[in-house]
Amino acid sequence: MCIKEVLSPINLRNPDDAAQWANEVNLKRPWRVQFFDYYATLIQQQQRVEILEIGSGPGDLAKHVLGRCPDIHYSAFDFSEAMHKLSRSKLLTHELERADYRVGDFKQTGWADALAQYDLVIIHQALHELRHKAYALDFHKIVKNKLLKAGACYLVCDHLYAEGAMTNPDLYMSKDEHIQCLQQSGFHVELPLEIKGLCLFQCH
Ligand SMILES: C[S@@+](CC[C@H](N)C(=O)[O-])C[C@H]1O[C@@H](n2cnc3c(N)ncnc32)[C@H](O)[C@@H]1O
């Protein structure tokens, strides 16, 4: 299969581009925080301890969950040192003590090999960074087979390809495409939250 990847308009490994993205994202989509609240509540209710965020970015989620869930350990995985730096800068000393930062590229073979297994894996607004939806199936299978402990939960939140939302059908998936892809990877899927084209898929 020949996959024509969609080029990114910004270089998130570049410190200026990373800072610009970080400065704009919560102004552009202030409802992100409602997803972070959902994750924090789920972590508390289900007593999830070991958390991995893939494509962790500037640390908005890290700050949110480490501040609210005192018993967790949070691991951040991203290919951008610049993003990790922004993330670390948001955390207080006692939050940093419960966090670790891994640099890696989830488009490279074996990307998950150096990671552990987790109670909860989250990918928030970063699945489309695969740069083509055709890569999502293999990505989800790697998460399922390598990164989840027995009984663990996998949260996938991304922009939908839909009317009034995203318009590129190569980069973004419709709701049905997400569900099918996750089910094909072996997950049972629920949709607990959707706001303005940003949709959360909760998988077991
Ligand atoms: C759109 S940002 C989302 C960041 C964060 N999840 C949030 O919502 O605040 C996507 C993140 O994925 C990272 N990323 C993009 N491609 C990646 C890759 N191939 N491997 C690892 N991280 C990647 C970027 O550096 C960036 O931090």
pLDDT, tens digit (0-9, with 9 covering 90-100), for 62-89: 999 999 999 999 999 999 999 999 999 9
Domain for residue 10, yes or no? no
Domain for residue 131, yes or no? yes
Task: Provide the whole-model pTM.
Answer: 0.98
Phi and psi angles of residue 178, each rounded to the nearest 5 degrees, phi first: -60, -50
Domain for residue 61, yes or no? yes
56 CA distance to ligand 1 centroid (A)?
6
Domain for residue 78, yes or no? yes
Domain for residue 67, yes or no? yes
Q: What pLDDT does 50 receive?
A: 98
Q: What pLDDT does 69 receive?
A: 97
Domain for residue 140, yes or no? yes
Assess whether the C-beta atom of 83 lies below 6 angstroms from ligand 1: yes
Residue 185 has pLDDT above 80, yes or no: yes
The CATH number for 116's domain is: 3.40.50.150
Domain for residue 11, yes or no? no
52 CA distance to ligand 1 centroid (A)?
13
- Closest C-alpha to ligand 1, atom 7: 57
Most ligand 1 atoms within 8 A of CB, residue of 5, 10, 12 to mutate: 12
Q: Kindly report, residue by residue over 135-178, the tens digit of the pLDDT.
A: 999 999 999 999 999 999 999 999 999 999 999 999 999 999 99
CA-closest candidate to residue 90, choices 65, 125, 126: 65
The structural domain count of the chain equals 1
User: Range of 122's domain?
Assistant: 48-203
Burial of 50 (C-beta count, 10 Å sphere; 0-12/13-18/19+): middle
